[in-house]
Structure 1
Amino acid sequence: MNMLVTAAGVMRVAACRTLGVQRLAPLAAVVSTLIACGAGSSAAWSATAPQAAHADASDDSAFASFDLGMLKSRGIDPKVADFFGRAPRFSEGTRRVTLTVNGRSQGNVEVHFDAEGHVCFNQMLLNQAQLKTPDSRYKSNDSSATPDEDCYDFVAAYPQTEIVLLPNREEVSLLVSSDALRPFSEDVNVYQTGGIAGMFNYEILGLNTQFSGSSSRYYSTDTELGVNAGDWILRSRQSYSAQNESERFQSLYTYAQKTFAPIASTLQVGQINIRNSVFPGEAITGLQLVPEAGLQPKSLGGATVQGIAQSQARVEVRQSGALVHTSLVPSGPFTLPNVQLLNSFTDLDVLVVESSGEEHRFTVPAASLVQTSLSAPGFSMAVGEVRTFGESTMPSPTLVTASSGWLLGQSSTVSAGLMVSDNAYRAGAWTLGTKLGTAASVSARNTLTYAGEEDVMGAQGSLSISSNLSQNINVSANYTRQSDGFRSLHDTVQAPNQDRTNPMTRDQYGIGLGWNDARLGSLTAGYSRSNRFDGQTSNHVNANWSKSFKHATVSLNLSRDLGGRTGSGNGAEQPDQARERNTAMYLTVSVPLGGNRSVSSFASKRDGNTRFGTTFQDYSSDFASYRLSTERDAQQQSFSGDVNMLPRFAQASLGYSRTGADSRTYSGQLRGGVALHGGGVTLSPYPLTDTFGVAKVGDVSGVKLNTPGGPVWTDPWGNAVLPQVNAYGSTPIEIDTKSLPRNVDIQNGFKALSAGRGSVSTLDFPVIKSRRALLHVTDEAGNTIGKGASVFNAQGDFVTTVVEDGKVFISNVELNDALTISLGEEQSCNVSFMLPDEQDLNVYFETANATCSTS
């Protein structure tokens, strides 16, 4: 195999596998020879100076010289040297290259080059580069410039354009003026729309804990049904949980949605959560019109919840009484990223249920959920009947709310709105967001309310600040305060409570610090405090330090409830003697073992109970990863293990833990999605978002595709679900060519989707099933054909050259074509060989002996 590395024909094969193209032009087979023969040719192939799109051939400085005598001795036409000697360029045809615009990567795209190596600016390239389309007078007059669509003379339309061609790196770099860039509003028109498909997401969790003489069972199912049709989105999500004899079912939402791109707004109808920028996101049954988040520079994302579990535990996150997230976490510090919220103005209640049944609760203050990024300007309105997830017996009022946002300059937005309901509730609010340069941002919010049934008025205000004090230090602070008479709409639909003021929060605030140093590691810390009207207070602090050393990473997590005060019967404040201060520390030392394997040891302490343990983790396989852990405290020893599997069409995990001699817990989780589309039913290992697609790779199964949502694989019919397509953005989809069967070639293994919200995108990756052979050619006397001889097909077209030891590499149609080899001095011979009827799929190419006869 070593001798084949330098062979031009086999170099072509390696390029096919790497670049994902069927085959390169015959001219590419001689490039290595050109570089070997050229004087200064290396410079010609590695030049990075900007080149005009239409180079002046008369500029001798752009030429590289070659040893023409050596080229002739190797059977290469000297005209080829003239082509490549002018400047760095690609040979004629369509090539998949990396595209950059003004230094920013735009992914990979197919670019057509004409006979002179000029770039064809067709509509596909303009869309990928997000460049304006020149008017019709700049269209090419050469109808054969590209096989699919017209080219534009982009350089003539925008003379400041500079093009850098880097054939050695398969890269095209563009430098364009700002007036050539496509405005965002114009870019909306290029997004794919339409399509129809059904979807089903599921997540099933089960826990079974056995104690001495008793047991406990917990099951939960989260499902989502939906249809995408004509850019309309229909979704319905349900949650069911059962613990021992107690069961609970909740319908979280059922709605229809459509985005109207010309006005950058989204309409929702059904059971929805208000997405008003100035009011809490109450759950209603009705309709609303809101700015489309995908068409705005910033949008509201999920929250991040952090905590510490003393064992394998179940974490439940609730907001306004609704279960918005549940998952299993291993022992130690945990982070739940992107927890989808009903709104960003209501506290999160977090419950951690240990494997022993012990429960820990903590609250994520609403103030910490405030986004300092600028809210999207635009008009919002909603009308509907309030929905409650709790046990409220109060009648559900009907409400109407409207708000609007405005952009103040380039760095500030302001929003204001009103809300009224038929239970005599009135509210008005405003928000302000601003960025102070590039290092700081501030957001403020103020709300005034009147609850007519109680005849009380109140106000609430909040302020959030974040700043980068230096490259290594960032700080944040938030503060919220409300008066005794402040009521949210959610408060007015709860059952009357004579002691109502007790649970009301007067104010809450928090501060955060982040620090990073190359020698001392990174540190994050936060402090929060909450004060109630009856005198109760709570204080909480958390901190994390981590440092990577040469052979290990050390981290320390701290979480402590600092205690507070509780109100007495006469309203006086007293030190809280009854509250148990909850302190948790977790020290971890992790050592990588290579190949995505690691072993870590830890020591944890909570309220005087110290535990030690060791964990081994292996994430080296796409199909399965596993974790084994053993722990010990003063009383008992425990063991736990889990395996997470990705069997291509679902995610599954199994877990087992044992504490002491009489406590055992078994767990299982299954998660994924299903798409029903025109090509059939296709399973996905990930839940499907509101915008998704389907890719088809011929009828080849088991092909791996890399997507933003994670790797997916084709089913037996060649279909794969694209579970997460970025609405109004670019979504790269790339085939892992190593997963292709050895007899399959693909013309282009990369495509970029540009889809509107609610569309169902379809991608087709055409494949060609190939057969390849490496021939050892001898003449009639058994002598090896000389190196460098040219091989031609029946039409007289050049196919390849003979390399060392008379070896010739051919594929596909060449296997059945009549081949001849030029022996020089107008002599040639005919090649004859025989391959088995059945192709050997276990090898990349087959080998055979061939005879070249002059008769």
Structure 2
Amino acid sequence: MAKKKVTQEFLIHQIGYPLLCGMAFFSISMSAHSEDKALQEADFDSVFLMGDAKKIDVSRFKYNNPVLPGEYNVDVYVNNNWFGKRKFTFKSIQNQNNAITCFDLTTLLNFGVKKDALSQSIENLQTDDRCKTIDEWVPNAFYDFDSSSLRLDISIPQIAMQKNAQGYVDPSIWDQGINAGFLSYSASAYRTQNNISADTSNAFMSIAAGWNLAGWQLRHFGQWQWTSAKSADQKQAKYNTTSTYIQKSFPRYRGVLTVGDSHTSGEVFDSIGYRGIDFSSDDRMLPNSMQGYAPQIRGNAKTTAKVEIRQQGQLIYQTTVSPGPFEINDLYPTGFGGAIDVTVIESDGQIQKFAVPYASVVQMLRPRMNRYAFTIGQFRDQGIGLSPLIFQGKYQRGLNNYITGYMGIQSTNHYFAATLGSAFSTPIGAISFDATQAQTRVNHETQSGQSFKVSYSKLITPTHTNLTLAAYRYSTENFYNLRDAILIEDLTRQGVSASSVGKQRGEFQMTLNQSLPDGWGNLYMIGSWQDYWNRNETAQQYQVGYSNQFKSMTYGLSAMQRQLQSTTAQNSKRDTEYLFTLSFPLSFKKYSANVNASVADNNQTLGINGIANDRLQYGAAVTRQDNNNTSWNLNGAYKTNYATFGVSYNQSNAIKQTMLNVRGSVIGHAKGLLFGADQGQTMAIVYAPDAAGARVNNATGLHINHAGYALIPYLTPYRLNDIVLDPEDMSNHVELEETSQRIAPYAGAISKVSFGTKSGYAIYIESKREDQSTLPFAAEVYNANNEVVGMVAQGSLVYLRSKDSVGDLTVKWGTESSEQCHIHYNIQDQVKHEANMIMTEAICK
């Protein structure tokens, strides 16, 4: 048979249109409805089919439920809300090829059906575990099953459903993940060559390691630091542990049990470190509509600088920033109260210090909602030598729409404090007031004091003013918080005067954001003020800023009060920096970059940064200081599937500095090790065999590797996360059975999401029977294992996907031996040319 050239137009007409019509036909007919008590027959007149196609059995389409019996793993939607993937068994009834599924009591209750809405007596429901059709359980309920997309839509009258908050995700579909271990790391190394003083090298690495087993999670957080001075031939290395604990979530109580070294929350009392047991509520388990903070850190670096962030003296974050303004918005503090201390260490040795006040928002809760925390263990603080046994408890509850009450107690062997407070929702904003009575034993003498705190929060809609938090606390002279009381006892035992411990009298904190009328920009202000009983001094911190945008250009003005300290001198001074910033984008065909400039009172910076092909980040900057010292900076970072690597080089008149960094994650699971380019907490392993190159849309630059795996480093816990694969860069010899899935993981879980794939060559065979008659349209094609691998399209064109370049096929359009024929194909020559779509011809004998 002479080979015929098949053009794209031929394929469209011969395959595209018939398949489109066929898909429309199947999508209408392949929807299974649960109302099988009144099955309606539909007769399909075969006169509309031509030739041998009249012999094709269409009886399977005569009922409204053409689903074949079997077990299906389906996406379940209840009243259009996704309830996860579940397996359902469909069985035939009435001696027909009509399969239906049934439901048991537990399943319906998990779907949110009210128990009193079920059509059974309460007594029977307790023992009745039989599987019944859904309309037997709930009148007027039904389901539709689309077998082409494996989607089961269940419709239940709203009156029979529990009323849930907007965004509610049923805990029954939360995923605990697989048993696996992980190591997330961020490491950097610096080498500084100084014309004035000795060359130095230092390195830093922060790690988060853990192991998940049967719902329990082991966690360890720590930092390693290493320093070397060439001239002094001195090397120092130390490792600090931030926390190590095991924890487990209990959705029934909306709580998390933590055992080990960790920190308390700071919602009623200041956050403290402990070694012991804690059981606390977790608001992340609530829907978004029932929740609501971590501060943004803003500053300005004159050179390539190292930024260290501490809370209560504990290093919790470190990074390197380029010259110019910087913003850190991915901070995860170890508590929710107190101040965040920021240190900016410039490459020329100058050190900036400032603090960002950090406190919880006003303690309002919704009616009948509560928060709780109970902690017992040893006090833990790196700066204090004592570790007495402590107990702390707190409870908050929303009484109605307007009032929330809260209380708490703290206790050690020489200290006791109790807090009682309330929060009110008023037309002028939310206000909270609490009073704390503390009793402390100091130098064999008992001292009692009180502390009173008033907080205020308000979004003033007409003026677009967001007063996030304004809080004032007044303490009497003999009032101590828990940490200060233990510190004074520690100093007293060492024979050191405790007069250096500041006894706080008053404290004021405020965070204000003001949106101006259209086109006029935005104002922000962050500030704090403190004074003491035994010190003739005050502590003040503030940041004030203004920003606006003109077309694509963004500009801003800011002022920040800070402390300046030299590495060669112990003295420090208070200073206020004024800063002007400007940025605008540049486009280069497919690529874009951003130009930024800043002008401070003693330095000016001009820089450019951008991103190329989702993987490469780059930047360059030049800074000129008033002492005629000019510095240059080049930096770049490249993200691979295994880690993110970065490099930076900075040079000035007196200093040369080189920095290397790397960050990522390593997961150990049953199938081996998997590497990721970012640090993560709640993660997902995506498995799609043979789908190497497929893009995972949940993270920038993430693709399925050659082993079929990819690591998504961050998912939102207790929320529905869509995992989406894009097959654009995947091999043409692989087909995804599905391109998206949804999952709601526990916090800290490592979930596994598997995607089905079909591998093989996409083969089109133009085939006719020996008498040159065409094959019947829609006839099924079977391989040597009697598996359906394709079908016959219009024009006697056979389509299939197979891994074999040589094989035998059987085309069937009936049950008789005369209603089938056999095809032998050989596409080895086409395979050598790696064609995306393989065309051939063969006779069906």
Give the equivalent residue in structure 2 for 1:23: none
Give the equivalent residue in structure 1 for 2:214: 230
For residues 731 and 275 of structure 2, what CA distance do their matches in structure 1 show? 52
Mean Cα deviation higher: 641-650 or 695-704: 695-704
- Code of the residue aligned with 1:223 in structure 2: it is I
With normalisation by structure 1, the TM-score equals 0.75
Give the equivalent residue in structure 2 for 1:420: 411
The equivalent position to 2:204 in structure 1, one of 214, 220, 236, is: 220
For residues 53 and 296 of structure 2, what CA distance do their matches in structure 1 show? 66
Give the equivalent residue in structure 2 for 1:20: none
Give the equivalent residue in structure 1 for 2:527: 528
Is 2:628 the partner of 1:644?
Answer: no
Q: Tell me the SS of whatever aligns to 2:828.
A: coil
Once the two structures are TM-superposed, the CA of residue 465 in structure 1 deviates from its matched residue by: 0.5
Q: Percent identity?
A: 15
Q: Tell me the SS of whatever aligns to 1:681.
A: strand
For residues 678 and 397 of structure 2, what CA distance do their matches in structure 1 show? 38
Is 2:608 the partner of 1:606?
Answer: no
Is 2:360 the partner of 1:365?
Answer: no
| Paired residues of 1:90 and 1:113 also in contact (CA < 8 A) | no
Q: After superposition, where does 1:379-458 map in structure 2 within 5 Å?
A: 379-390=372-383, 392=384, 394-409=385-400, 412-422=403-413, 424-433=414-423, 441-453=430-442, 455=447, 457-458=449-450
Q: After superposition, where does 1:479-628 map in structure 2 within 5 Å?
A: 479-483=471-475, 484-494=477-487, 495=491, 499-500=499-500, 504=504, 506-515=506-515, 519-520=518-519, 522-533=521-532, 534-536=536-538, 538=540, 540-547=542-549, 549=551, 552-561=552-561, 579-593=574-588, 595=590, 597-607=591-601, 609-621=602-614, 623-628=615-620
| Paired residues of 1:446 and 1:462 also in contact (CA < 8 A) | no
Residues 562 and 285 of structure 1: is their aligned pair in 2 closer, same or farther, counting only changes over 3 Å? closer
- Code of the residue aligned with 2:397 in structure 1: it is W
Aligned residue-pair number: 781
| Paired residues of 1:101 and 1:174 also in contact (CA < 8 A) | yes
Q: After superposition, where does 1:27-176 map in structure 2 within 5 Å?
A: 30-31=21-22, 54=35, 130-132=111-113, 153-154=133-134, 157-159=137-139, 176=157
Gaps of 5+ in 2: 1-6, 121-128, 230-235, 564-571
Q: Tell me the SS of whatever aligns to 1:339.
A: coil
Residues 802 and 725 of structure 1: is their aligned pair in 2 closer, same or farther, counting only changes over 3 Å? closer
| Paired residues of 2:303 and 2:631 also in contact (CA < 8 A) | no
Q: Tell me the SS of whatever aligns to 1:741.
A: coil
Once the two structures are TM-superposed, the CA of residue 324 in structure 1 deviates from its matched residue by: 0.9
Residues 796 and 731 of structure 1: is their aligned pair in 2 closer, same or farther, counting only changes over 3 Å? closer
Gaps of 5+ in 1: 13-27, 36-40, 46-50, 140-148, 564-576
Give the equivalent residue in structure 2 for 1:574: none
1:572-621 deviation per Cα after TM superposition (whole angstroms, max 9, x unaligned): xxxxx9743322221222345564x43333332222x3525241412432
| Paired residues of 1:34 and 1:66 also in contact (CA < 8 A) | no
The alignment's C-alpha RMSD in Å is 5.2
Once the two structures are TM-superposed, the CA of residue 322 in structure 1 deviates from its matched residue by: 0.1
1:148-182 deviation per Cα after TM superposition (whole angstroms, max 9, x unaligned): x9986445644566889999999969685154248
Once the two structures are TM-superposed, the CA of residue 33 in structure 1 deviates from its matched residue by: 7.9
| Paired residues of 2:362 and 2:469 also in contact (CA < 8 A) | no
Q: After superposition, where does 1:720-759 map in structure 2 within 5 Å?
A: 720-721=710-711, 723-724=713-714, 726-756=716-746
| Paired residues of 1:191 and 1:755 also in contact (CA < 8 A) | yes
| Paired residues of 1:211 and 1:662 also in contact (CA < 8 A) | yes
Once the two structures are TM-superposed, the CA of residue 554 in structure 1 deviates from its matched residue by: 1.9
Residues 579 and 615 of structure 1: is their aligned pair in 2 closer, same or farther, counting only changes over 3 Å? same
Give the equivalent residue in structure 1 for 2:239: 249
Once the two structures are TM-superposed, the CA of residue 759 in structure 1 deviates from its matched residue by: 5.7
For residues 399 and 378 of structure 1, what CA distance do their matches in structure 2 show? 20
Residues 680 and 471 of structure 1: is their aligned pair in 2 closer, same or farther, counting only changes over 3 Å? farther
For residues 351 and 70 of structure 1, what CA distance do their matches in structure 2 show? 81
- Code of the residue aligned with 1:365 in structure 2: it is P
Residues 29 and 418 of structure 1: is their aligned pair in 2 closer, same or farther, counting only changes over 3 Å? same
Is 2:349 the partner of 1:353?
Answer: no
- Code of the residue aligned with 2:538 in structure 1: it is Q
1:422-472 deviation per Cα after TM superposition (whole angstroms, max 9, x unaligned): 2x22211235455569x9655544433233216352414140303251595
| Paired residues of 2:704 and 2:710 also in contact (CA < 8 A) | yes
Q: Tell me the SS of whatever aligns to 1:6.
A: helix
Once the two structures are TM-superposed, the CA of residue 789 in structure 1 deviates from its matched residue by: 5.4
Residues 382 and 159 of structure 1: is their aligned pair in 2 closer, same or farther, counting only changes over 3 Å? same
Once the two structures are TM-superposed, the CA of residue 648 in structure 1 deviates from its matched residue by: 0.8
| Paired residues of 1:377 and 1:413 also in contact (CA < 8 A) | no
| Paired residues of 1:673 and 1:683 also in contact (CA < 8 A) | yes
For residues 524 and 167 of structure 1, what CA distance do their matches in structure 2 show? 55
Once the two structures are TM-superposed, the CA of residue 479 in structure 1 deviates from its matched residue by: 1.6
Q: Tell me the SS of whatever aligns to 1:401.
A: strand
Once the two structures are TM-superposed, the CA of residue 739 in structure 1 deviates from its matched residue by: 4.8
| Paired residues of 2:266 and 2:335 also in contact (CA < 8 A) | no
For residues 178 and 301 of structure 2, what CA distance do their matches in structure 1 show? 45
1:655-693 deviation per Cα after TM superposition (whole angstroms, max 9, x unaligned): 22333x44332222222222222222322333342x555
Give the equivalent residue in structure 2 for 1:177: 158
Once the two structures are TM-superposed, the CA of residue 249 in structure 1 deviates from its matched residue by: 3.2
Mean Cα deviation higher: 343-352 or 444-453: 444-453
For residues 665 and 408 of structure 2, what CA distance do their matches in structure 1 show? 38
Give the equivalent residue in structure 2 for 1:668: 660
Is 2:270 the partner of 1:280?
Answer: yes
Give the equivalent residue in structure 2 for 1:767: 757
| Paired residues of 1:110 and 1:125 also in contact (CA < 8 A) | no
| Paired residues of 1:603 and 1:610 also in contact (CA < 8 A) | no
For residues 450 and 482 of structure 2, what CA distance do their matches in structure 1 show? 12
Once the two structures are TM-superposed, the CA of residue 209 in structure 1 deviates from its matched residue by: 2.6
For residues 739 and 109 of structure 2, what CA distance do their matches in structure 1 show? 16
| Paired residues of 2:182 and 2:665 also in contact (CA < 8 A) | yes
Residues 723 and 182 of structure 1: is their aligned pair in 2 closer, same or farther, counting only changes over 3 Å? farther
| Paired residues of 2:186 and 2:661 also in contact (CA < 8 A) | yes
Once the two structures are TM-superposed, the CA of residue 497 in structure 1 deviates from its matched residue by: 5.2
Q: After superposition, where does 1:742-821 map in structure 2 within 5 Å?
A: 742-756=732-746, 761-777=751-767, 792-793=780-781, 799-802=790-793, 807-812=797-802, 816-819=807-810
For residues 204 and 410 of structure 1, what CA distance do their matches in structure 2 show? 48
Once the two structures are TM-superposed, the CA of residue 282 in structure 1 deviates from its matched residue by: 0.9
Once the two structures are TM-superposed, the CA of residue 752 in structure 1 deviates from its matched residue by: 3.1
The equivalent position to 1:204 in structure 2, one of 183, 187, 207, is: 187
| Paired residues of 1:779 and 1:851 also in contact (CA < 8 A) | no
| Paired residues of 1:586 and 1:605 also in contact (CA < 8 A) | yes
Once the two structures are TM-superposed, the CA of residue 278 in structure 1 deviates from its matched residue by: 1.9
- Code of the residue aligned with 1:744 in structure 2: it is V
Residues 639 and 29 of structure 1: is their aligned pair in 2 closer, same or farther, counting only changes over 3 Å? same
Once the two structures are TM-superposed, the CA of residue 526 in structure 1 deviates from its matched residue by: 1.5
Residues 278 and 792 of structure 1: is their aligned pair in 2 closer, same or farther, counting only changes over 3 Å? closer
Give the equivalent residue in structure 2 for 1:658: 651
| Paired residues of 1:790 and 1:798 also in contact (CA < 8 A) | no
Give the equivalent residue in structure 1 for 2:567: none
Mean Cα deviation higher: 97-106 or 661-670: 97-106
For residues 802 and 397 of structure 2, what CA distance do their matches in structure 1 show? 62
Give the equivalent residue in structure 2 for 1:572: none
Give the equivalent residue in structure 2 for 1:6: 12
- Code of the residue aligned with 2:194 in structure 1: it is F
1:313-340 deviation per Cα after TM superposition (whole angstroms, max 9, x unaligned): 3211101110011112334433322422
Give the equivalent residue in structure 1 for 2:224: 240
For residues 697 and 127 of structure 1, what CA distance do their matches in structure 2 show? 32
Q: Tell me the SS of whatever aligns to 2:349.
A: coil
For residues 832 and 661 of structure 2, what CA distance do their matches in structure 1 show? 41
Is 2:468 the partner of 1:476?
Answer: yes
For residues 756 and 703 of structure 2, what CA distance do their matches in structure 1 show? 16
